[in-house]
Amino acid sequence: MKKFGLMVIALLVALGAVGAGYAMWSDQILIKGTVTTAIVDINAFEYTSTTVWKTESGTAVRTDNITPTGAIDAFPADTDIDPVAFAKAGPTISGGNTLEDAVTMTFSNLFPLDGARYCTGFSGNYTGTIPVHLAVIWSVVKTEPEYDWARELISKHSEFVITVNDKEVPVRPFQIHQGDTFNISFCINPPQELASHTSMAGKSFDLIGKVLAYQWNEPAPTTAPP
């Protein structure tokens, strides 16, 4: 047992010598790193409306930029007639609270206009840290056959108008960058009747949509950009 104890002590001394020698013949570089991830963020900040009212001389239509609260502007001083129809947008209010990243569009009491449309929408900006694609998705909530007329109205008698930095862009996914501003208008032009000969008088339906800003991955181009 005594010999075994001496052997253990000798082994520890030897290992200690090796460790000391290793430390003397080494060097190191300390590494400290920081990792951040990208931000994707779009915000609505201004809204537009269309107001329609009847006067003795005919139908008057006006499209305006309206306040950030979504309230309809005052009407021209030369008429005190209340509007008969309007399209407006504003922030979504629920339980007295303004919901973040939510817009409510209202199209009220629509009827056919001669060469004019009911348009409403909003302006927004992109404050994210990476380029993203922006896409607009819009559909009729109800899927039952009795709402085919609504889908026909939206597919054939409405359109999106989208501008980025005051330039119109195609209605398909397109790229935006940090600091870009955009405007999205949704316009409806009710016809006297639909192609299916369905009357739209006295009807209603709900729409749901989203403006989607999303990061994407695509194969890199084979040649370097200019």
Q: Indicate whether 25 belongs to any domain.
A: no
Residue 200 belongs to a domain: yes
Q: Is residue 178 part of a domain?
A: yes
Residue 35 covered by a domain: no
Tokens of 117: 């449309």
- Domain membership of residue 161 (yes or no) is yes
pLDDT tens for 180-192 read: 999 999 999 888 7
**Lowest-confidence segment of 42-51, 64-73, 124-133 by average pLDDT:** 64-73
Q: What is the pLDDT of residue 143?
A: 86
Average pLDDT, integer, range 186-205? 82
pTM: 0.73
Number of domains in the chain: 1
Residues 149, 155, 159: CA angle, nearest 5 degrees? 130
- pLDDT at 195 (0 to 100): 73
Q: Which among 136, 113, 122, 157 has a CA at the least distance from the CA of 44?
A: 122
According to the model, what pLDDT value does residue 146 have? 86
pLDDT at 103: 93
User: What is the percent of the chain where pLDDT is above 70?
Assistant: 73
List pLDDT tens digits, range 138-183.
Answer: 889 888 888 888 998 888 888 888 888 888 887 677 889 999 999 9
Look up the domain containing 78 and give its range.
42-214
Residue 69 domain-assigned?
yes
Give the Cβ contact number of residue 40 at 10 Å: 15
Largest Cα–Cα distance in the chain?
121
Residue 93 lies in a domain: yes
Tens of pLDDT, residues 21-64: 556 788 899 999 999 999 999 999 889 888 887 767 666 666 66
Strand, coil or helix: 20: helix
pLDDT category of residue 74 using cuts at 50, 70 and 90: very low
In a domain, residue 114? The reply is yes
